[in-house]
Amino acid sequence: MSGFGLDGSHGFATNLWNMLSEGGVWAVPRCGLLFRKEGQKFILADRMPWDPDMPCTEEELLDAQEFDIEGITTMMASIGVTVIPLEI
C-alpha cells in the first residue's frame, strides 16, 4: 500500500514540483531521502545510512525508506513525473 493517499497529494505534488528549479533537491527528513529534479524525472539521489545510535533498527529504517519511496513514486506519477530509484 502506498504511503500517500491521492486525495490531496496531487496538489502537494504539483506545488512541490513547481517550487523546485531544474537540479533542485527535496529532502524527506523523517527517513533521510534526497530527491533531485531533472527534466520530468525525480531522481532519488541519496539515502541516509543507518547508524547504531538511531532509535530504530537498520531494518526499520530501510522499511520506512521503501514505504516512502513507494508513496512518493505514486504521488509524483499522478502529475506525470517519473521517480528514478537510487542505484546502489
Among 81, 80, 75, 82, which Cα is nearest to 11's?
Answer: 75
The pLDDT score that the predictor gives to residue 61 is 96
**Mean pLDDT rounded to a whole number for the chain:** 89
Which H or E run includes 14?
helix 6-19
Percent with pLDDT over 70 in the chain: 88
The pLDDT score that the predictor gives to residue 11 is 87
Q: Out of 4-8, 32-36, 74-78, which region has the weakest mean confidence (pLDDT)?
A: 4-8
Percentage helix, strand, coil for the chain under 3-state DSSP, each rounded to 5 = 40, 25, 40
The pLDDT score that the predictor gives to residue 7 is 54
Taking the alpha carbons of 23, 26, 32, 38 in that order, is the dihedral positive or negative? negative
Q: Over 70: is that where the pLDDT of 2 sits?
A: no
Q: Out of 10-14, 62-66, 78-82, which region has the weakest mean confidence (pLDDT)?
A: 10-14
